[in-house]
Amino acid sequence: MQLSDVPDLAHTRPRAVHWLATATAMAAVVALAGLLQPGAATASQSGSGSPKAADPGRAPLPAPDPSGVDFPLECGGVGTTVTKKSSGDLDGDGNPETVAVVRCAAGSGTPPNGVYVLTRAGGEGERARIVATLVDPEDKLTVGPDFAVRDGEILATLFGYSGPTVPSCCPDEEQRVSWRWQNGAFVRGERPVARSV
C-alpha cells in the first residue's frame, strides 16, 4: 500500500456541518428561483380561464400594428399586403387586439385572404405577434368589405367557390360569419345572409 504525502483531506469524511451547509445553499437557490418567476401572460391561446381584467389605473396599450409582422403566407417572393384591419378588445384584458386581413401582393386576380389575430408580446415597444388564424389562405376565401370588430366580436363576409371550374374573378358562394373569444379560443358562428328584395 502506498501512503500519500498529503495529510487527510477534511472532505473525505462528511460531517453534519457539511450536510447542513449543503442543505442551506440548496434552500437559498430554490428560494431565489421562486422569487424570479415571470408574471402571468394574457391574450394567448393556451391557459385556463379568462384573462385578468386590466388594472383600472393603467391606460390600455395601443392596438398592435400589423405592418411589421411576418405572416405565414407563401407568396413566391412578391410579399404580402394587409388589405383590411380592425382593432378592439377581443379577450377582455383591457388591451386591444388587431385583426388583419392579409393576401399576397399579386398584381392582378383575386388571391385568397388569410385572417389573423395579433396581440402585443409585452409592453408598448414590443412587436405584434400572431395568436390565432381565423381564415387560412389554403381555404381559398376572400373577405368582403363589411369586415369589422364590434363589441368584442369579429364580423366578416367570406366569398368562396363551389368548384374548381368557377373563375377566380367571380366567387359564387357567400358566408356571413363571426368569431368571439370563449373559453380561451375564438369560436366561429354563422350570421344570416342578407337577401335583397
Look at residue 53 and tell me whether its pLDDT is greater than 70: no
CA distance 170 to 94: 40
Q: What is the pTM of this model?
A: 0.67
- Residue 169 pLDDT greater than 70, yes or no: yes
> pLDDT exceeding 90 applies to what percent of the chain?
42
Q: What is the pLDDT of residues 82-91, one digit of tens each?
A: 999 999 999 9
- Across 6-27, average pLDDT: 75
